[in-house]
Structure 1
């Protein structure tokens, strides 16, 4: 499967899942909200109608009841209304003949309505005695039509969104594969001995940087090959020369060999830069671990939602039992219904559910905030410095951002303790500082085999900001301390490290920021790396002002 196809399928799959979740949740919320509104409206209207008609029912004032019925039908979507007496005798009714002629059956939920009319009633009672009831029918066809239109529009929007995502994925995949094909073709030409190549460079992204570095490497190889051919020709000429010129030619050969060695050293340096660039790019792999960090809060959020769903179901059953109780007139039936309700309250532990609701909602909110903070930290850490220039930066913020990104790598076996002091902002390249902190944190975590502790502190001391990262891991042999910052030197097992992390960090702190890195370590007790970044007095005065 090609990279372009993988890109299209991957992005389309993620977008499809997110769209499905969003559309389903939105439509479900729309249906639930509107259906609950219909039920509440029907119940409220019936109750008000029963209250209005109570005096007329008690006095058998049929003319007033006819007027009340006609008046209540002025409410939008009401299709019929009737008033019944104590023995179900009809006092007054009005509305659609079809609805009035149908047998009345009260509806509990809008989803169960099959005739397009939500039927409900309310009792007319005085002093605990039922003297009749009112019955209403509410038309829900328009509501269902509106929801159906919303579903169709959501499906259309989702289809358009998927089309745009597929188009974007295709364009992105085509761009990436086209650039990589150029690099592959260039590598094949070099392996075939064709050193006079120049890969076209487009854009200013990482692939363009690799293409430029590739062209520099090819140019250096071509120059080295040209010099080698030249030296070989000169050697052949020397072999054909006279003996009296051997000493002179030998001296020239020694000088030329020095130049050749220098050219080879330049090639090695260029290759080392490529390795460093690849090493820096691999730091982004840590972002994959954030998925696990997000899954944890999402897990208990979803669990809480399931519990809330169960509670809602229990509440609805209790409400249904109470509604049944209100509709009963026989004292024995009402007594039995009272016992049933009491049994349901004890079975569902109503008091516990009421107390647990606040905790469930609080935990769900905290989980959502946690996901938001994780994504915010990853976004801040992955920000690329567009100018690579010094800028005023809060180092404490750099530490917190790096901890969020590296958290999934170290949290399971390391306790993180921070002591961030009140330090001034300094001029630095924040992206490079975050990379150094990440290297130090990962090295400290790898030095701890099982369970351990990492302490991070920042302090302003003697016109410099110091950041210390201390662990209680395995420590470093004293003889190896002097070689820690050498390129390709590592104390890890074979295959576990490249030996470039500390070398890169040393170059960033010492060469680019004119600072220093101090190391203290004792075998079996742990290590402490201290980063020292100088600060100008003018910067401190400016910040204080």
Structure 2
């Protein structure tokens, strides 16, 4: 085997190994960086989708969930999206049917995806409690195409490079056999960066041919260096273009975040309107009773005022007669005037008027205070609650406000008994707590057929405050208890309830970090208990 052949084989093997390592490292970096970026993108998308749908899942707002699913599919990489409840039931879904019909299996690595769809999910949780999750599928075909194209281009470049190396080694081997000394000097010049080297050609023999071949090789190296510089310039330009696209995508994501925040705000406003609507429904239900509660004290206050008006007229008449008495100097006339005054005192029953006067004034004051308390309770209850409505308050005040509202509705067929413990102040929305208590009291009254009793209790259990409302009504069947807090579910007759009262009450309790417990037996009555944590600081 000649030196030329050995040189060709040796250089080709070395170049092949180095080129293979370079291509493998480049492709591995390309895969790793793109796969990691894709997984982060999928995780971020599912997390944002879960955060967007959380409030709608908690309130079982299926219409909003359907809208959210359709909006998130605007993302061109998403093939499907769905929202699941705590029991795995589908609340809303949309996308390509072929993927929705498949069983969901979460993917953890892009390279393990076999159907061009990366399946991932995020759990919907609040205070550590999982209420459901969102599932999405992202298209990986574009990423796979990019990586495959990079592999093909690398293979083509490797083949071209091996061809060039073979040609170079062929020329170098011939050169080594004939002109080693000149090659040594020329090679040293090339290693020093002098690509303008030109071996002088003398004659037409093999030495001249080797010199010509070396000069061609030097020219090829110069062209390769120029092409390399061009490639580097193009690569820098491509990097700048990628940076611009990344910045554009970041702006799009920010715009989507703003839209999601706006949608979340709209959901909160809708929930607030629903809360106020249910509150107005309760007020409407109690309107007749509240009017009666106001009319009673107003009636006897008006009656007292008429009596006071008559007494004032009598006092004025007596004062006029006394004034006349002071102007008389004749003894007979003064005696006659005094007799007239005594007769008027007997006629007006002055002693009775003096005694009755204090009673009428005190009773009128009590009546106006009673009206004022009823109006105050109605005003506080009907006010739209916001986050700023959270104050330090005593839950017993919320109970008393609710009882003022419902008193006339229940007093004719229910005995209301209170057992209120001394409670510390807690940071909460007093209007919303009053709404829960009023809803529980009204439901207890509706559950009683004929005449019965309602017991309202409050107590403190370590770091929890509890309000319980129990009745001696007809009770609730066991198979319906788990549905009580579902929206639009009601055990009342058609037209007597919206089915939203307990659902809204449950949502308010959750917002306060608490819960509502139910115990009921058919024929014996029910007990609803509101439990919220004690919060001593705002």
> TM-score under structure 1 normalisation?
0.45
> TM-score under structure 2 normalisation?
0.46
